[in-house]
Structure 1
């Protein structure tokens, strides 16, 4: 595609096909989005129809191929721009000499006018060829657009100039045709570079191709990453980047900064999931059982979602398209009417043709077509760079008008797993002995609280289960309540809830339970001498929960926490992050969550991670899934955070406001320009060259305004 007119022509032609409910052609990303009956959305059906218009449809290209395509397009534009600038410079110089009256005689002016026409020929015939081709294609699609106006403007200027030369006049307009082509080529080149930069956001989701060490035919061998399928085992060398999603067969330390933004390494236990993009920090090889191959990885899905987002259009883009769709035919009608009206008013043929030519040039809706898509592309690129992957095209526009924000608790405002926040032990027990017995009591347990105790204290360089020196002879476990283990020395240890230890006839002293911490889960450890220690565990808030909530409140949003958890933990967390008790709702079922959300001021944003949040994500105007959200939550959300915490919520709101501001500015000024310019050129004579400069300035201003958003740094305020 050559410009937004091409996109509108393809879109309009496809919309006339039966069986298609929704069609969107996104020019900046060169992507087609269709929704309809299977018989109408088949690739061969769409490709054959598009081919008749002179375009080619291919499968969704990888990011690397998109870069290559835009680089080729940039070289194509650069070559035509060089030819246009080189020959156009001499054509312009000749015209300036004539306009300035710097030539000694009319005969010399006539010769210089012919020279101007000669130098304009390479520009008109070579540099302007893409405009004529695109204009013809849009006519075939019955959606004449900007390129038709450009083509008519160029050839109108050439025709008028040749007619003037034939009549012996040297006041030619070859410079108008040259400037129209050269300035539009400059705008297209700048626009292509902006599109190229928009793809940079997807580079963060692309992993390099290469070979991995996979287990096949009873031995380890190097295989291309594309040949590794689900279920195969892959070996990671120390320092190697994880290339495929999978589950660890043994525990290890991983650097997840590239995927989650975490600055500290993360210890991942065996059986836990790891995702492509992390880096293994261990000293010995680590084996992963692949759960998703190339094309199915989490990063691949995020990339595809971003591409689908770019292909669809929001309300402001649809408004811009509607404006551009009627502007081009209107300009053609006005240009055709200008000629006879000018003649009826007593103007000569020369001036009448010049008036009609100016109408054609000034009406080119380049800026209108670029107003919204470039801003949207820049905004989505900024979002991805800030750790937010957008899926819904209307999300940015809705987020910019947001009034209320509701957040889930567990896994969203909190880490999603418990950790020890306090403890007390029997008098006289030394820390080393306590650590040894606790490690022996919880080692191997799948219970989340037991795993949290195995990680305590957090300052330990290795998990406690690796410090167990005694073998366990016997393990008796009551799922969800507690367990008893017998050490090699014969000693029995008991760990579990207070109520379960009471059933085991273990007498607990008054200090074994701290009633001042109702928010915490209490786990008791006992040995042969009775009560040994009580540990208080809580799901801690994410690092940026408090600061993010405070910024949202300071920005005037209604902020609420809606959770299915108990009132105690909810109230404790609210106090920690700065929410009032009235803004927190505990023990709410999924249906109740959705009803509460709909009662908040609209538009609403909901942030949730679990299966029980899917209804609320659908009920909200915009849903956001945090980093470790379930598949169901991710599918129901309009955006997903790719970094830990909830700070991305504040950042995406800020980006959305700035993006919508750029959209409104672009759309308003481009529409105002075209409307006023058409009115002015109809009532007064404007030289075609001035019309060209004004049209080009409008298009460049829109492009640079969108580029300002792409190149600026997002702030943290909402």
Structure 2
């Protein structure tokens, strides 16, 4: 949950605010996280405090005078040991406490079985009870039950009392308080029956040691299963962390040496064997081959690598040996940044959490009040004191704020982790909820719907061969830095055309290029360049150029010795997956729009080809921002994350088309790491699945308590129904938390 302080004099967005992350132990339910949040947020120099029950962390935005150790001390004083996490450390896998929970459960189970068999065995086999009494006598059996139950409460169940009772005395009861009160009441009542029976009316002299023992054992079993499930929920982020190898082969003094990755530094040359995992980010210096980047980008096709190309730590080399120079280590690597971003998304608080926060803030005190009321009503109208104790204990045990506290964060954790595996990196967790409500998806054109670089599509000539036209034009354009000129040069290279030298090359902004190649004077540019130079356009080539412009292509004209000789048709190729992406969005009930700074004809041509609903071209930066803001609620803008940073920030949800090595796009809410446009569809489907999962979890958690607490109070008894056993209540409580976590784990199977 998150609370914003209203007393902070700095203001929530003050540039001097710092962010501290705390690792917190001992949180067991939503009441714990709510109490920690309130304790942090009451500080006047804390702007925002967000506590994640599932991850066992807190993120605090605060003034510079408040140190991380001070924040950890505030939480520790509440009874929850906390420590600040250094922001520059490489993330480590979360500690999985399933093993310790398993040991506690098995110990409690071993001690509980004799108590349970001694008390309940006679219900299954009537002769067993008489045989046991004849063998040991009633007194020793009761003492055995009391001693074993005391060992359970003081041993495996000690944590419930160590956390729950102090929290109760401090006026902040939580889940452990309910368990401690319930099991403790059952044990104390039974102990009084054994030790001081005259204090209890004869009709109420019944013992419930088995209830106290089974309650603790079942809840410990539930926490063990829950810890196992939590470990599985964090498996995605642990898998990312574990991608990086521990050692690498480094060239030192010209000789290969096997060193720990932690000892490498930027500038080191690393030898990468076939099939080996890349240790750190770097640039290829020798060799050519392919690297499998699917574990980071979700892109199944291996990426070709040659000298000058970047490689990312954690990816897997193909069949070729490569050498690369290290460019980033430790917390600066792409893999570490991805893990931090995913953890940030997993720790986020969604708006849907508001309802949970308001309920859990008063839930435990209300349950304690209902237990007291139940005890008094049963004492007044029930058959005896024992029934009153059993009913009150059942109410305390059946209540489960754990499930409510886990309902939202566990789905966020699994969903954000699954997104990272699919190449969809949520930088802000709240985007998970906003994206599920998307209704209009706006796209930039260049670099988003298209590949971002022009290509030569066709050559049309008049009085010259296509090869000669390409050779002359490419020779001159080789001296130019214009993207259109680069496309002509690239086209010549693809066709194996040798480039002749060019002289007297001169560029004119907005018009074109002139120069001399093979003794022939050339002019390369747009129609205005020909007209201003007094060169009459060829009617045939002009018609070709008009038709190309109508298709959204860019015509470039070539004049040789004052005569219009050729027209090149260039265009930024549309991404191959763009049409399928737009069609899939339409099938999901979403509208699409294209917002481009390119000429209107080009925008219209691309939009018509892809089946986009609304198209706007020729937009200046201010016009694009206004158009995005006018898209309203449920708007999403997809851009390349570099030129579109203001637009991504202005949209309700910004999606950046990135790559595995350039993912730190601060203006976007989420990044498609592979650069594959179909990731937009995956992101929306994942967001909808996460929100659907959260709604299911919340329904289960609230419906469970709404239905079973009245049953535990005994509302069915007057109508001939049963009085709920505390043991059944403990089992149901454990099952509710495990069910919520298990339901969230289904997100891991999303395709």
Q: Identify the residue that residue 45 of structure 1 maps to in structure 2.
A: 70
Deviation at 1:282, TM superposition (A): 10
My pick for the range that moved more, 190-199 or 524-533, is 524-533
Q: Identify the residue that residue 553 of structure 1 maps to in structure 2.
A: 586
Q: Identify the residue that residue 17 of structure 1 maps to in structure 2.
A: 43
* Residue pair 2:581, 2:677 contacting (<8 A) in 1 also: yes
- Pairwise mapping of residues 226-625 of structure 1 onto structure 2 (< 5 A)? 226=262, 232=267, 234=269, 237=272, 243-245=279-281, 255=291, 257-258=293-294, 259-264=296-301, 275-276=312-313, 288=325, 290=327, 292-345=328-381, 347-425=383-461, 429=465, 440-443=475-478, 445-456=480-491, 472=501, 474=503, 476-478=505-507, 482-483=512-513, 495-497=524-526, 499-500=528-529, 509-513=538-542, 514=544, 515-518=546-549, 519-524=552-557, 533-580=566-613, 583-610=614-641, 613-625=644-656
Q: 2: distance between equivalents of 1:561 and 1:66?
A: 42
Q: How many residues get paired?
A: 697
- Per the normalisation by structure 1, the TM-score is 0.85
Q: 1: distance between equivalents of 2:548 and 2:474?
A: 24
My pick for the range that moved more, 516-525 or 478-487, is 478-487
Q: Identify the residue that residue 697 of structure 1 maps to in structure 2.
A: 735
Cα gap change, 1:555 to 1:426, in 2 (>3 Å): same
Q: 2: distance between equivalents of 1:662 and 1:412?
A: 31
Q: Which runs of 5+ in 1 are unaligned?
A: 458-462
Q: 2: distance between equivalents of 1:479 and 1:203?
A: 55
Deviation at 1:516, TM superposition (A): 0.7
Residue deviations 1:577-613 (CA, integer Å, cap 9, x gap): 1124xx1111223333333233335222222235553
Q: Identify the residue that residue 131 of structure 1 maps to in structure 2.
A: 160
Cα gap change, 1:191 to 1:172, in 2 (>3 Å): same
Q: 2: distance between equivalents of 1:229 and 1:135?
A: 49
- Per the normalisation by structure 2, the TM-score is 0.82
Q: 2: distance between equivalents of 1:220 and 1:608?
A: 43
Q: 2: distance between equivalents of 1:497 and 1:563?
A: 21
* Residue pair 2:597, 2:617 contacting (<8 A) in 1 also: yes
Q: 2: distance between equivalents of 1:154 and 1:483?
A: 88
Q: Identify the residue that residue 209 of structure 2 maps to in structure 1.
A: 174
Q: Structure 1 residue 147 and structure 2 residue 176: aligned?
A: yes
Deviation at 1:33, TM superposition (A): 0.7
Q: 1: distance between equivalents of 2:320 and 2:443?
A: 40
Residue deviations 1:75-106 (CA, integer Å, cap 9, x gap): 11111122123332333222221444442279
My pick for the range that moved more, 134-143 or 3-12, is 134-143
Deviation at 1:636, TM superposition (A): 2.0
SS at the partner of 1:417? coil
Deviation at 1:361, TM superposition (A): 0.8
Q: 1: distance between equivalents of 2:563 and 2:282?
A: 44
Cα gap change, 1:267 to 1:385, in 2 (>3 Å): closer
* Residue pair 1:213, 1:222 contacting (<8 A) in 2 also: yes
SS at the partner of 1:540? coil
Cα gap change, 1:648 to 1:137, in 2 (>3 Å): farther
Q: 1: distance between equivalents of 2:479 and 2:314?
A: 29
Deviation at 1:149, TM superposition (A): 0.5
Deviation at 1:378, TM superposition (A): 1.8
Q: Identify the residue that residue 12 of structure 2 maps to in structure 1.
A: none
Q: 1: distance between equivalents of 2:361 and 2:273?
A: 58
Q: 1: distance between equivalents of 2:324 and 2:522?
A: 34
Cα gap change, 1:51 to 1:697, in 2 (>3 Å): closer
* Residue pair 1:91, 1:119 contacting (<8 A) in 2 also: yes
Q: 2: distance between equivalents of 1:493 and 1:288?
A: 43
My pick for the range that moved more, 152-161 or 621-630, is 621-630
My pick for the range that moved more, 532-541 or 216-225, is 216-225
* Residue pair 1:252, 1:286 contacting (<8 A) in 2 also: no
* Residue pair 1:184, 1:696 contacting (<8 A) in 2 also: yes
Deviation at 1:60, TM superposition (A): 5.4
Residue deviations 1:174-195 (CA, integer Å, cap 9, x gap): 2322332232223222322333
Q: Identify the residue that residue 194 of structure 1 maps to in structure 2.
A: 229
